[in-house]
Amino acid sequence: MTATLDDLPVRPDLRGQKPYGAPQAPLPVALNVNENTHPIPPEVADDIADAVAKSISGLNRYPDREFTELREAFARYLGHGLNPDQIWAANGSNEVLQHLLQAFAGPGRRAFGFAPTYSMYSLLVRGVGSEWVSGERGPRFEITPESAARQVAEADPDVVFLCAPNNPTGTPLSLDVIEAVYQASRGIVIVDEAYFEFAPASADSALTLLPGRERLVVSRTMSKAFAFAGARVGYLAADPAVIDALRLVRLPYHLSALTQAAATAALGHSDAMLRMVDEIVEQRDRISATLDALGYDPYPSWSNFVLFGGVTDPQDTWRRLYDRGVLVRDIGIPGHLRVSAGTAEETTAFLDALAAIRDE
Protein backbone atom coordinates (compact mmCIF):
# COMPACT_ATOMS: atom_id res chain seq x y z
CA MET A 1 0.00 0.00 0.00
CA THR A 2 1.37 3.42 -0.85
CA ALA A 3 0.54 6.63 0.94
CA THR A 4 -0.81 9.77 -0.74
CA LEU A 5 -0.01 13.39 0.08
CA ASP A 6 -3.18 13.46 2.16
CA ASP A 7 -1.67 10.91 4.53
CA LEU A 8 1.28 13.19 5.27
CA PRO A 9 1.58 16.22 7.56
CA VAL A 10 2.27 18.41 4.51
CA ARG A 11 1.86 22.20 4.81
CA PRO A 12 -1.85 23.01 4.38
CA ASP A 13 -1.09 25.68 1.77
CA LEU A 14 0.60 23.05 -0.44
CA ARG A 15 -2.39 20.70 -0.47
CA GLY A 16 -4.05 20.56 -3.87
CA GLN A 17 -1.13 22.32 -5.61
CA LYS A 18 0.29 20.97 -8.87
CA PRO A 19 4.07 20.79 -9.45
CA TYR A 20 5.69 22.39 -12.52
CA GLY A 21 5.10 19.80 -15.20
CA ALA A 22 6.19 20.51 -18.76
CA PRO A 23 6.17 17.00 -20.28
CA GLN A 24 9.66 15.60 -20.87
CA ALA A 25 9.28 13.13 -23.74
CA PRO A 26 12.07 11.70 -25.91
CA LEU A 27 10.63 13.00 -29.20
CA PRO A 28 12.85 13.76 -32.21
CA VAL A 29 11.70 17.41 -32.37
CA ALA A 30 11.34 18.88 -28.85
CA LEU A 31 10.19 22.49 -29.08
CA ASN A 32 8.24 22.76 -25.84
CA VAL A 33 10.40 24.39 -23.16
CA ASN A 34 12.15 27.18 -25.06
CA GLU A 35 15.53 25.54 -24.95
CA ASN A 36 18.27 26.43 -27.39
CA THR A 37 18.26 23.31 -29.56
CA HIS A 38 21.70 24.07 -31.03
CA PRO A 39 24.51 22.17 -29.33
CA ILE A 40 27.44 24.03 -27.76
CA PRO A 41 30.15 24.63 -30.42
CA PRO A 42 32.82 21.86 -30.18
CA GLU A 43 35.76 24.24 -29.54
CA VAL A 44 33.88 25.79 -26.60
CA ALA A 45 32.83 22.34 -25.33
CA ASP A 46 36.52 21.34 -25.25
CA ASP A 47 37.42 24.39 -23.20
CA ILE A 48 34.56 23.78 -20.77
CA ALA A 49 35.63 20.13 -20.42
CA ASP A 50 39.22 21.26 -19.62
CA ALA A 51 38.00 23.74 -17.00
CA VAL A 52 35.72 21.18 -15.37
CA ALA A 53 38.51 18.56 -15.43
CA LYS A 54 40.89 20.99 -13.69
CA SER A 55 38.31 21.67 -10.97
CA ILE A 56 37.99 17.98 -10.14
CA SER A 57 41.25 17.80 -8.17
CA GLY A 58 39.79 20.42 -5.81
CA LEU A 59 36.44 18.72 -5.23
CA ASN A 60 37.52 17.53 -1.76
CA ARG A 61 37.14 21.16 -0.66
CA TYR A 62 33.98 23.32 -0.64
CA PRO A 63 33.84 25.70 -3.61
CA ASP A 64 34.31 29.49 -3.48
CA ARG A 65 31.13 30.52 -1.67
CA GLU A 66 31.28 33.90 -3.36
CA PHE A 67 31.87 32.47 -6.88
CA THR A 68 34.16 35.45 -7.40
CA GLU A 69 35.52 34.60 -10.85
CA LEU A 70 32.06 33.81 -12.17
CA ARG A 71 30.65 37.11 -10.88
CA GLU A 72 33.52 38.95 -12.56
CA ALA A 73 32.72 37.12 -15.81
CA PHE A 74 29.01 38.03 -15.62
CA ALA A 75 29.83 41.69 -14.90
CA ARG A 76 32.08 41.74 -17.98
CA TYR A 77 29.44 40.04 -20.13
CA LEU A 78 26.61 42.37 -19.08
CA GLY A 79 28.63 45.59 -19.40
CA HIS A 80 26.59 48.70 -18.48
CA GLY A 81 29.35 49.63 -16.01
CA LEU A 82 28.30 46.85 -13.63
CA ASN A 83 30.66 45.68 -10.88
CA PRO A 84 30.95 42.11 -9.56
CA ASP A 85 29.42 43.23 -6.24
CA GLN A 86 26.18 43.88 -8.16
CA ILE A 87 26.01 40.31 -9.50
CA TRP A 88 24.40 37.20 -8.04
CA ALA A 89 24.08 33.71 -9.53
CA ALA A 90 22.44 30.40 -8.70
CA ASN A 91 21.41 27.06 -10.19
CA GLY A 92 19.19 28.44 -12.92
CA SER A 93 17.30 31.72 -12.76
CA ASN A 94 14.54 29.75 -11.03
CA GLU A 95 16.82 29.53 -8.00
CA VAL A 96 17.81 33.18 -8.39
CA LEU A 97 14.10 34.07 -8.25
CA GLN A 98 13.62 31.78 -5.26
CA HIS A 99 16.45 33.54 -3.40
CA LEU A 100 14.80 36.88 -4.13
CA LEU A 101 11.47 35.62 -2.78
CA GLN A 102 13.09 34.08 0.30
CA ALA A 103 14.67 37.43 1.08
CA PHE A 104 11.91 39.83 0.05
CA ALA A 105 8.64 37.86 0.19
CA GLY A 106 7.87 35.02 2.66
CA PRO A 107 4.86 34.35 4.89
CA GLY A 108 2.32 37.17 5.11
CA ARG A 109 3.75 38.92 2.06
CA ARG A 110 2.45 39.29 -1.48
CA ALA A 111 3.91 39.01 -4.98
CA PHE A 112 2.36 40.25 -8.21
CA GLY A 113 2.66 39.56 -11.94
CA PHE A 114 0.69 40.21 -15.13
CA ALA A 115 -1.03 37.02 -16.33
CA PRO A 116 -0.45 35.08 -18.44
CA THR A 117 3.21 34.95 -17.47
CA TYR A 118 5.93 32.45 -16.56
CA SER A 119 4.17 29.71 -14.60
CA MET A 120 7.00 29.24 -12.07
CA TYR A 121 6.45 32.70 -10.54
CA SER A 122 3.26 31.71 -8.72
CA LEU A 123 4.70 28.31 -7.74
CA LEU A 124 7.84 29.87 -6.28
CA VAL A 125 5.75 32.49 -4.50
CA ARG A 126 3.51 29.87 -2.90
CA GLY A 127 6.57 27.80 -2.05
CA VAL A 128 7.82 30.56 0.26
CA GLY A 129 4.37 30.96 1.83
CA SER A 130 3.46 34.21 0.10
CA GLU A 131 0.29 35.21 -1.68
CA TRP A 132 0.29 35.44 -5.51
CA VAL A 133 -1.79 38.18 -7.10
CA SER A 134 -2.41 38.23 -10.87
CA GLY A 135 -2.72 41.48 -12.77
CA GLU A 136 -4.30 41.83 -16.21
CA ARG A 137 -2.85 42.57 -19.62
CA GLY A 138 -4.58 44.58 -22.33
CA PRO A 139 -5.31 43.55 -25.94
CA ARG A 140 -2.68 41.24 -27.49
CA PHE A 141 -1.22 40.67 -23.99
CA GLU A 142 0.37 44.13 -23.97
CA ILE A 143 0.71 46.34 -20.89
CA THR A 144 0.58 50.13 -20.80
CA PRO A 145 2.49 52.14 -18.17
CA GLU A 146 -0.75 53.67 -16.87
CA SER A 147 -2.57 50.38 -16.41
CA ALA A 148 0.52 48.69 -14.94
CA ALA A 149 1.10 51.48 -12.41
CA ARG A 150 -2.56 51.52 -11.38
CA GLN A 151 -2.74 47.75 -10.89
CA VAL A 152 0.53 47.60 -8.95
CA ALA A 153 -0.47 50.51 -6.70
CA GLU A 154 -3.78 48.77 -5.99
CA ALA A 155 -2.20 45.37 -5.20
CA ASP A 156 0.59 46.97 -3.12
CA PRO A 157 2.91 43.95 -3.51
CA ASP A 158 6.22 43.26 -1.78
CA VAL A 159 7.60 41.81 -5.03
CA VAL A 160 6.60 42.50 -8.65
CA PHE A 161 7.55 40.21 -11.53
CA LEU A 162 7.90 41.79 -14.97
CA CYS A 163 8.83 39.27 -17.63
CA ALA A 164 10.57 41.07 -20.51
CA PRO A 165 9.93 39.69 -23.10
CA ASN A 166 7.06 37.78 -21.56
CA ASN A 167 6.81 34.00 -21.45
CA PRO A 168 4.53 32.44 -22.77
CA THR A 169 3.41 35.27 -25.07
CA GLY A 170 6.74 36.65 -26.36
CA THR A 171 5.44 40.18 -25.78
CA PRO A 172 8.10 42.89 -25.44
CA LEU A 173 7.93 45.22 -22.42
CA SER A 174 8.94 48.85 -22.76
CA LEU A 175 11.19 50.57 -20.24
CA ASP A 176 8.31 53.03 -19.62
CA VAL A 177 6.31 50.24 -18.01
CA ILE A 178 9.22 49.27 -15.78
CA GLU A 179 9.77 52.88 -14.69
CA ALA A 180 6.05 53.36 -14.01
CA VAL A 181 5.80 50.14 -11.99
CA TYR A 182 8.91 51.03 -9.99
CA GLN A 183 7.43 54.42 -9.13
CA ALA A 184 4.06 52.95 -8.23
CA SER A 185 5.49 50.33 -5.89
CA ARG A 186 7.35 50.13 -2.61
CA GLY A 187 8.52 46.53 -3.20
CA ILE A 188 11.24 44.77 -5.14
CA VAL A 189 10.70 44.97 -8.92
CA ILE A 190 12.16 41.98 -10.75
CA VAL A 191 12.60 42.31 -14.50
CA ASP A 192 13.09 38.78 -15.82
CA GLU A 193 15.15 39.11 -19.00
CA ALA A 194 15.57 35.35 -19.54
CA TYR A 195 15.07 35.85 -23.29
CA PHE A 196 16.66 39.29 -23.71
CA GLU A 197 19.36 38.17 -26.15
CA PHE A 198 16.65 37.31 -28.72
CA ALA A 199 15.27 40.89 -28.73
CA PRO A 200 16.21 43.28 -31.57
CA ALA A 201 19.74 44.67 -31.24
CA SER A 202 18.26 48.15 -30.71
CA ALA A 203 16.25 47.05 -27.64
CA ASP A 204 17.22 48.62 -24.31
CA SER A 205 17.78 46.35 -21.34
CA ALA A 206 16.33 47.17 -17.92
CA LEU A 207 20.02 47.19 -16.87
CA THR A 208 20.05 50.81 -18.10
CA LEU A 209 17.53 51.65 -15.35
CA LEU A 210 19.56 50.24 -12.43
CA PRO A 211 21.47 53.38 -11.36
CA GLY A 212 19.56 55.08 -8.54
CA ARG A 213 16.93 52.31 -8.27
CA GLU A 214 17.95 50.09 -5.35
CA ARG A 215 14.71 48.06 -5.46
CA LEU A 216 15.16 47.09 -9.13
CA VAL A 217 16.56 43.67 -10.07
CA VAL A 218 17.37 42.37 -13.56
CA SER A 219 17.41 38.60 -13.86
CA ARG A 220 19.03 36.65 -16.71
CA THR A 221 19.85 33.04 -17.51
CA MET A 222 22.43 31.02 -19.44
CA SER A 223 19.69 28.46 -20.25
CA LYS A 224 18.38 30.08 -23.42
CA ALA A 225 20.73 32.15 -25.60
CA PHE A 226 23.82 30.42 -24.13
CA ALA A 227 22.49 26.91 -24.79
CA PHE A 228 23.37 25.99 -21.20
CA ALA A 229 20.02 24.81 -19.76
CA GLY A 230 21.48 21.52 -18.55
CA ALA A 231 24.22 23.24 -16.54
CA ARG A 232 21.66 25.25 -14.48
CA VAL A 233 23.09 28.75 -14.31
CA GLY A 234 21.03 31.90 -13.81
CA TYR A 235 22.17 35.32 -12.58
CA LEU A 236 21.04 38.82 -11.77
CA ALA A 237 22.26 42.38 -11.50
CA ALA A 238 21.10 44.78 -8.78
CA ASP A 239 22.31 47.15 -6.11
CA PRO A 240 25.02 45.60 -3.88
CA ALA A 241 22.58 45.84 -0.93
CA VAL A 242 20.22 43.43 -2.72
CA ILE A 243 23.12 40.98 -3.10
CA ASP A 244 23.77 41.26 0.65
CA ALA A 245 20.14 40.31 1.31
CA LEU A 246 20.46 37.23 -0.92
CA ARG A 247 23.51 36.03 1.04
CA LEU A 248 21.18 35.70 4.04
CA VAL A 249 19.03 33.03 2.37
CA ARG A 250 21.27 31.06 -0.01
CA LEU A 251 22.59 27.70 1.05
CA PRO A 252 26.32 27.85 1.72
CA TYR A 253 28.31 26.78 -1.37
CA HIS A 254 25.13 26.60 -3.48
CA LEU A 255 27.06 26.81 -6.75
CA SER A 256 29.23 23.73 -7.13
CA ALA A 257 32.86 24.02 -8.23
CA LEU A 258 31.88 22.12 -11.40
CA THR A 259 29.14 24.63 -12.20
CA GLN A 260 31.40 27.60 -11.50
CA ALA A 261 34.17 26.19 -13.70
CA ALA A 262 31.82 25.33 -16.55
CA ALA A 263 29.98 28.65 -16.52
CA THR A 264 33.15 30.75 -16.26
CA ALA A 265 34.70 28.85 -19.17
CA ALA A 266 31.51 29.26 -21.26
CA LEU A 267 31.39 33.01 -20.58
CA GLY A 268 34.96 33.27 -21.85
CA HIS A 269 33.47 32.29 -25.23
CA SER A 270 30.30 34.37 -25.13
CA ASP A 271 30.65 35.39 -28.80
CA ALA A 272 30.76 31.77 -29.95
CA MET A 273 28.08 30.72 -27.47
CA LEU A 274 25.75 33.43 -28.75
CA ARG A 275 26.51 32.81 -32.43
CA MET A 276 23.31 30.80 -32.85
CA VAL A 277 21.06 33.61 -31.58
CA ASP A 278 20.72 35.23 -35.03
CA GLU A 279 19.91 31.88 -36.59
CA ILE A 280 17.24 31.21 -33.93
CA VAL A 281 15.72 34.66 -34.44
CA GLU A 282 15.56 33.91 -38.17
CA GLN A 283 13.69 30.64 -37.49
CA ARG A 284 11.38 32.42 -35.04
CA ASP A 285 10.43 34.98 -37.69
CA ARG A 286 9.98 32.21 -40.22
CA ILE A 287 7.59 30.45 -37.81
CA SER A 288 5.55 33.65 -37.37
CA ALA A 289 5.37 34.32 -41.13
CA THR A 290 4.44 30.73 -41.96
CA LEU A 291 1.83 30.46 -39.18
CA ASP A 292 0.31 33.65 -40.48
CA ALA A 293 0.20 32.24 -44.02
CA LEU A 294 -1.41 29.06 -42.68
CA GLY A 295 -4.21 31.15 -41.16
CA TYR A 296 -3.08 31.06 -37.52
CA ASP A 297 -2.62 34.14 -35.37
CA PRO A 298 1.00 34.44 -34.18
CA TYR A 299 1.84 37.14 -31.60
CA PRO A 300 4.84 39.44 -32.02
CA SER A 301 7.78 37.81 -30.23
CA TRP A 302 11.08 39.13 -28.90
CA SER A 303 12.00 35.70 -27.58
CA ASN A 304 12.99 32.30 -29.00
CA PHE A 305 9.39 31.07 -29.17
CA VAL A 306 6.08 32.01 -30.75
CA LEU A 307 2.62 31.95 -29.20
CA PHE A 308 -0.11 31.49 -31.76
CA GLY A 309 -3.89 31.64 -31.61
CA GLY A 310 -6.50 30.37 -34.01
CA VAL A 311 -6.06 26.76 -32.83
CA THR A 312 -9.56 25.29 -32.68
CA ASP A 313 -8.66 22.41 -30.36
CA PRO A 314 -5.19 22.91 -28.83
CA GLN A 315 -5.18 19.55 -27.04
CA ASP A 316 -6.02 17.70 -30.24
CA THR A 317 -3.43 19.62 -32.28
CA TRP A 318 -0.84 19.05 -29.53
CA ARG A 319 -1.54 15.29 -29.62
CA ARG A 320 -1.37 15.10 -33.42
CA LEU A 321 1.94 16.97 -33.46
CA TYR A 322 3.15 14.60 -30.73
CA ASP A 323 2.18 11.60 -32.87
CA ARG A 324 4.32 13.09 -35.65
CA GLY A 325 7.32 13.39 -33.33
CA VAL A 326 6.97 17.11 -32.60
CA LEU A 327 6.61 18.34 -29.02
CA VAL A 328 5.13 21.84 -28.51
CA ARG A 329 3.49 23.41 -25.45
CA ASP A 330 -0.15 23.73 -24.57
CA ILE A 331 0.10 26.51 -22.00
CA GLY A 332 -3.58 26.43 -21.18
CA ILE A 333 -4.64 29.59 -23.02
CA PRO A 334 -7.81 28.58 -24.90
CA GLY A 335 -7.25 28.45 -28.67
CA HIS A 336 -3.46 28.84 -28.38
CA LEU A 337 -0.24 26.83 -28.52
CA ARG A 338 3.39 27.84 -28.03
CA VAL A 339 6.37 26.58 -30.02
CA SER A 340 10.10 27.20 -29.55
CA ALA A 341 12.24 28.11 -32.56
CA GLY A 342 14.56 25.19 -33.28
CA THR A 343 17.20 24.55 -35.88
CA ALA A 344 16.12 25.11 -39.49
CA GLU A 345 15.39 21.37 -39.80
CA GLU A 346 13.37 21.18 -36.59
CA THR A 347 11.43 24.29 -37.52
CA THR A 348 10.64 22.81 -40.92
CA ALA A 349 9.51 19.57 -39.26
CA PHE A 350 7.12 21.52 -37.02
CA LEU A 351 5.73 23.71 -39.79
CA ASP A 352 5.27 20.76 -42.18
CA ALA A 353 3.56 18.70 -39.48
CA LEU A 354 1.21 21.54 -38.60
CA ALA A 355 0.33 22.17 -42.25
CA ALA A 356 -0.34 18.46 -42.74
CA ILE A 357 -2.58 18.33 -39.64
CA ARG A 358 -4.50 21.36 -40.84
CA ASP A 359 -5.16 19.67 -44.17
CA GLU A 360 -6.24 16.34 -42.64
Binding site for ligand PMP (CB under 6 A): 34, 92-94, 118, 163, 167, 192, 194, 221, 223, 229, 234
**How far, in Å, are 158, 165, 303, 355 from residue 299 at the CA level?**
31, 12, 11, 18
What separation in angstroms does the CA of 324 have from each of 184, 331, 354? 48, 20, 9
DSSP, residue by residue, 300-316:
P-SSSEEEEE--S-HHH
Q: Closer CB to ligand PMP, residue 102 or residue 221?
A: 221
Nearer of residues 18 and 61 to ligand PMP, judged by Cβ: 18
Nearer to ligand PMP, 341 or 353 (CB): 341
Minimum Å gap between C-beta 151 and ligand PMP is 20
What whole-number distance in Å separates Cα of residue 225 and Cα of residue 355? 28
DSSP for 134-181?
Answer: EEE--GGG---HHHHHHHHHHH--SEEEEESSPTTT-----HHHHHHH
Which residue lies nearest ligand PMP, judged by its C-beta? 92
Which class for 166: exposed (0-12), middle (13-18), buried (19 or more C-beta within 10 A)? Answer: buried
Nearer to ligand PMP, 92 or 298 (CB): 92
Of residues 130 and 169, the one with the C-beta less far from ligand PMP: 169
Between 98 and 185, CB nearer to ligand PMP: 98
Could you tell me which residues come within 8 angstroms of residue 198 by beta carbon, excluding any fewer than 6 positions away? Answer: 165, 224, 225, 277, 280, 281, 284, 302, 303, 304
Comparing CB distances to ligand PMP, the nearer of 167 and 205 is 167
- Min dist CB 312 to ligand PMP, Å, is 27
CB of 328 to ligand PMP, least distance (A): 14
Question: In the bound complex, what is the minimum distance in angstroms from residue 175's beta carbon to ligand PMP?
Answer: 18
d(CA 236, CA 243): 9
CB of 15 to ligand PMP, least distance (A): 26
How far apart are the C-alpha atoms of 81 and 168, rounded to whole Å? 31
Q: How far apart are CA 78 and CA 90, in angstroms?
A: 16
Least distance between ligand PMP and beta carbon 263 (Å): 12
- Please report how close the Cβ of residue 100 comes to ligand PMP at its closest, in angstroms: 12
